[in-house]
Structure 1
């Protein structure tokens, strides 16, 4: 079954050493998939590299933003541009090579029976490469916390390798999404499930970046947990009110 027009949104900030490499791999692995680079004003010349790639390949386009406003903000802007351009499937992929373009086919195949597909590290068959045990424990623990607090069954709600149907993004109402940082990923999963839509996870091999600096930090992780805790407590309070109302 044809999925229609597909684009993968790649947000960038100081990814000059990775962008051409990852876009080249993606175009080779999936020649029918377009690429939208969303650059947050990178001072290292990433935007210029993206422009050069777009000039040489009509399947590549670039969205230049003037400031670094967070991962979620970049994705929301890119999603809206892709929707306005008429794409039927809109994906997410990191620029640093941690999401392997050669595995995108797994997500595309799964989207035939889903509204959102996640490339998951923590389902059977999934794995991580070159991660210290502490970071793996942090990711597994964080996802367990999300499942318990939000009451969802997704094993890797924080993952950033994804494909959305345009109908999913339209039903979520992107204008109402306020998450701008890494917690955006969990927010989108929760909203998809709350809308009664289907989320599927497929196993991927996640490879830690070998070039450039990671954008993840302790402060970013702490802020994400704070936001998730607030959502969870608010939902639990709403459940109690509904239960008392029925009584």
Structure 2
């Protein structure tokens, strides 16, 4: 991917000089959310984020939401310089949106990037725990996963079928890719930017939902450690989920290709 995005709304403000202290209070932190038609959720999300972590930067990657999500974010960026909106044309995929955010984090010399959903299923109030887990371990090499499947984690609002599908894709991913964590498919994570610098994003097979499994696979290959922090996933109240059966089957096929390549390198 040669460019971060089609358009970015604001020039990044000048950040303080980079130091050696990896504590959350001194680290450069980027919060990244990908949006498409989240006008009902994003204002609530931003309010809760600012109340929790007023000193972090927020990057919204919006794929041309017709409901005005990108316009709202643009207006907020004029009020709060820590909010930036990256506008993209079309719908190139959720994974490609997160890659764009990761490239942005690398190019702007952040220490850690936290990715979560803007639909309020991932509580912004939980971000400090992810950052503490990152800074309290080998920060430059530790990926922190907000996990639904460790003790203390959970899911509310899902039908039985979706619980089964999620459990199945996680087991499938662990077996094929040899990953150690219990929650491989969630997007609530803190990534050390030092590790992201080592990733060749042009080599990715997935720019859709299986990106979240694939990035773990590449990070582990590059020496990542993993810590899982429990949280309770709450199904969205506003708007609709973007995943469907076709996207789910593409994700299954992509993970299979990655697993096959792990055994029989191409």
TM-score normalised according to structure 1 size: 0.93
**What SS is found at the alignment partner of 2:175?**
helix
Equivalent positions of 1:1-247 (< 5 A) are 1-3=22-24, 4-112=27-135, 113=137, 114=139, 115-238=142-265
Counterparts of 2:192 and 2:227, CA distance in 1:
12
1:74-112, CA deviations, whole angstroms, 9 ceiling, x for partnerless residues? 111122122222211111111100110011111111102
Counterparts of 2:89 and 2:253, CA distance in 1:
28
1:188-231, CA deviations, whole angstroms, 9 ceiling, x for partnerless residues? 10111111211111101101000001001111111100111111
Aligned to 1:244: none
Counterparts of 2:217 and 2:103, CA distance in 1:
19
1:149-177, CA deviations, whole angstroms, 9 ceiling, x for partnerless residues? 11111111111001111111011233433
CA contact (8 A) 1:20 1:53 kept: no
**What SS is found at the alignment partner of 1:63?**
strand
Aligned to 1:245: none
Counterparts of 1:82 and 1:61, CA distance in 2:
13
Which protein is richer in helix relative to its size? 1
Structure 2: give runs of 5+ residues left out of the alignment: 1-21
Q: CA deviation at 1:178?
A: 4.1
**What SS is found at the alignment partner of 1:139?**
helix
Structure 1: give runs of 5+ residues left out of the alignment: 242-247
**What SS is found at the alignment partner of 2:262?**
helix
Counterparts of 1:178 and 1:62, CA distance in 2:
26
Counterparts of 1:174 and 1:221, CA distance in 2:
21
**What SS is found at the alignment partner of 2:127?**
helix
CA contact (8 A) 1:171 1:195 kept: yes
Counterparts of 2:55 and 2:202, CA distance in 1:
29
Q: CA deviation at 1:122?
A: 0.8
CA contact (8 A) 2:177 2:259 kept: yes
CA contact (8 A) 1:192 1:199 kept: no
CA contact (8 A) 2:29 2:110 kept: yes
Counterparts of 2:69 and 2:31, CA distance in 1:
17
